Each structure stands twice: as C-alpha cells, then as structure tokens.
Chains A and B, each alone.
Chain A
Amino acid sequence: KNEVEQSPQNLTAQEGEFITINCSYSVGISALHWLQQHPGGGIVSLFMLSSGKKKHGRLIATINIQEKHSSLHITASHPRDSAVYICAVSANRDDKIIFGKGTRLHILP
C-alpha cells in the first residue's frame, strides 16, 4: 500500500463545477504539499500545510492531522485548471518527500 494515496486518479468535469481532490497518508508528517503539474513536466507548489486550511484565489486546501487526510478544492473550475495535481508529504522519520501518484483533472469548456 502506498504511503500517500490520492483519489480520484482521473477526474473530468464541466467548467464552473466545484472540484475536490483527496489525499490520505499513513506516515507521520511535518507538512503536506499540494503541487500542480502541467503537460511538459513543470511542477508548481500550490500549498504547504501543517494544519487547518489555506486559500489562494479559487483554490482551497484543508488538512485533518488526526484523520491523516487532506483535500484540495477548486471553486468555479476553468479549463486552464486542467493539470495533474499531486499530493506530497514531508515524512517525519527522515524528512524525505513522499509523493502521491497524482490526480489528472480535465475541465471541459
């Protein structure tokens, strides 16, 4: 079983829909990261969380440390949000980064 699990693996939605991507992890962490990867490979850090909730524009990230679960929400989704969204954790045991497999999001116009 992977130490970081994301769901769904793939998601197709219509423009304007509210999007939720989930991440569960099984290790002790110092932080959780949400990353965005566009075609061509480039990765951008969206959020780093250690507790609570963060908001940036139409993106909201939440984390429940007790449940070992995080969600990334996109409000009023747009075709330019189409990308792979990756959850990653900084593991307490060795400070290394463990990545999820990513969620491929496709927003239709």
Chain B
Amino acid sequence: DAGVTQSPTHLIKTRGQQVTLRCSPKSGHDTVSWYQQALGQGPQFIFQYYEEEERQRGNFPDRFSGHQFPNYSSELNVNALLLGDSALYLCASSLGGVGGIETQYFGPGTRLLVL
C-alpha cells in the first residue's frame, strides 16, 4: 500500500518562473492538503482540495493555485516565483474532507529552491 508520494523530490527554479508540484494521495484517500515549510519554520497551510474543489485556503497569494484530478491526485502551481518561495512543500492526504491534521498522512515533500 503506497503512502503519499510527491514529485519531484527537489527542484531548482529562477525568479519569475512557474513551477508545478505533484502529489498522489495514500490509497483510499480523497482529500489533499498542501503546506509550505520554510527552512527553520513550521509548516503553513496553503489550501485543501476535496471533490476536485478548493475547500479551504490559507493566507497565500493568488500566485499559488492548485488542482485535483478525478483520481484524487493533486497539483500545486506557483507562478512568478519569488526568492521567498524557496521552501519544502508538503502534501498530506486524508479521507472525506473532514478531520484535522491528526487524520492526515504526509508525503516526504518537494524541496524547491528559487535562485
């Protein structure tokens, strides 16, 4: 039973570019949440997708957008990259669009470096 997988594991981009990160949820899960974790900081909630719709959103600008596919996998897109977007991006999956962080299974993350 595969857990949460994310790709790529590492990525280097330059300012102004666009990036797409991918997440496959744990088998049987239908809800995907995305978090940004800057170095030395705790994670910050970006948004959550359930039934292919964005259900909740944190305090992130519109440059951060996402998508959920019918197979429940999800993408995080970031446009017009800034140096401050350099971080570990974590995906977490859960079931039914309810429940808190205690019900979420986290992936290993994608480490993004913006130069």
A35 with B101, Cβ < 8 A, contacts A96-B58, A97-B45, A101-B41 known: yes
Contact of A102 among B42, B92, B101, B103 (CB under 8 A): B42
A40 with B42, Cβ < 8 A, contacts A45-B102, A48-B100 known: no
Q: Is the CB of B88 within 8 A of A41?
A: yes
A44-B92 Cα distance, complex, nearest whole Å = 10
B90 at the interface (CB under 8 A from A): yes
A57 at the interface (CB under 8 A from B): no
Q: Is the CB of A33 within 8 A of B100?
A: yes
Q: Tell me how far the C-beta of B26 lies from the nearest C-beta in chain A, rounded to whole angstroms.
A: 12
- Residue on B with the closest CB to A43? B106
**Contact-residue bracket for chain B:** 20 to 34
Q: Is the CB of A42 within 8 A of B42?
A: no
A25 at the interface (CB under 8 A from B): no
Q: Tell me how far the C-beta of A7 lies from the nearest C-beta in chain B, rounded to whole angstroms.
A: 14
Q: Is the CB of A99 within 8 A of B42?
A: yes
A33 with B108, Cβ < 8 A, contacts A86-B43, A96-B58, A97-B45 known: no
**Contact-residue bracket for chain A:** 20 to 34
Residues of A within 8 A of B41 (CB): 101-102
The residue in B41, B45, B102 that gathers the most chain A C-beta atoms within 10 A of its C-beta is B102
Contact of B100 among A90, A99, A100 (CB under 8 A): A90
A41-B43 Cα distance, complex, nearest whole Å = 10
- Contact flags (1/0) for B64-100 with A, using CB distance below 8 Å? 0000000000000000000000001010100000001
B25 at the interface (CB under 8 A from A): no
Please give the residue numbers on chain A whose beta carbons come within 8 Å of chain B beta carbons, in ascending order.
4, 31, 33, 35, 40-45, 48, 86, 88, 90, 96-97, 99-102
Please give the residue numbers on chain B whose beta carbons come within 8 Å of chain A beta carbons, in ascending order.
37, 40-45, 56, 58, 88, 90, 92, 100-104, 106-109, 111
